[in-house]
Amino acid sequence: MDWIHCNKCFSQLEPGITLHLTSCGHMFCNNCLGNGLKDSTCLVCRMPCSAMKLVPDMKQEIQDYFTDPEELIKKSCDVIQFQRQHRRRLLSYLLQSTKKFYAARNELKRVTEMCQKQHTQLKEYHKRIKALETQLANQSSRQVSPFNIPISPTNNISPSFIQTTPSCKRPTKSTPYSTHHYQSNLLTPSRISKQRSANFSAHSQILPERLQ
């Protein structure tokens, strides 16, 4: 550090010389500081100030003034690269989260529209079912039996209906319990023999006529 020197006597930093830094940014050696600094007034700018001894364990913000600018620039570049890397990582995450958010919002919109359509269709189906139930109830109330008797068991049969109801009677010949003699068409042995004798007699009468 060849630029460090006393701003009063211009003595450079050498072994045995201790420098002090004032709050106004000036440096003074021990001799100048002890002989000239009075009432906390700077020997160069004559401004009120305070002085601190330059030692290796100074605060970092004071040490930066005595550090090589190249090292500071390199350190600053490392800091910038470090911050940029984490900033890019965060921006990438936020970008992916934004894409997922918009995709989820579009999917939610699609599902909502589908649910609304299904809700509308469900209402229409309820209306159709109600109309069919009403129609079925009307048809059930109008339906009667084949003999003009209402299906409902609560209705009573009137005497006039009994008088007008047609009677279904079987013919006398087809009634198995009729008092007339029942003639069956079944072939029995006695019937077969009678039929043969009748055919033979009729044939015997026809032959003499042909011979004459």
The string of pLDDT tens digits covering residues 100-134 is 999 999 999 999 999 999 999 999 999 999 999 99
- pLDDT for res 99: 95
- pLDDT for res 144: 52
Structure-token pair, residue 89? 């990582």
Torsion angle (degrees, nearest 10) of CA 16, 17, 18, 20: 170
- pLDDT for res 139: 87
Residue that is written with structure tokens 């009748």 in the block: 198
- pLDDT for res 197: 74
- pLDDT for res 104: 96
Give the pLDDT band (50/70/90) at residue 147: low
Whole-model pTM over 0.85:
no
Structure-token pair, residue 199? 């055919």
Please give the mean pLDDT across all residues of the chain.
Answer: 79
Query: Which residues have C-beta within 8 Å of that of residue 204, sequence separation ≥ 6?
Result: none
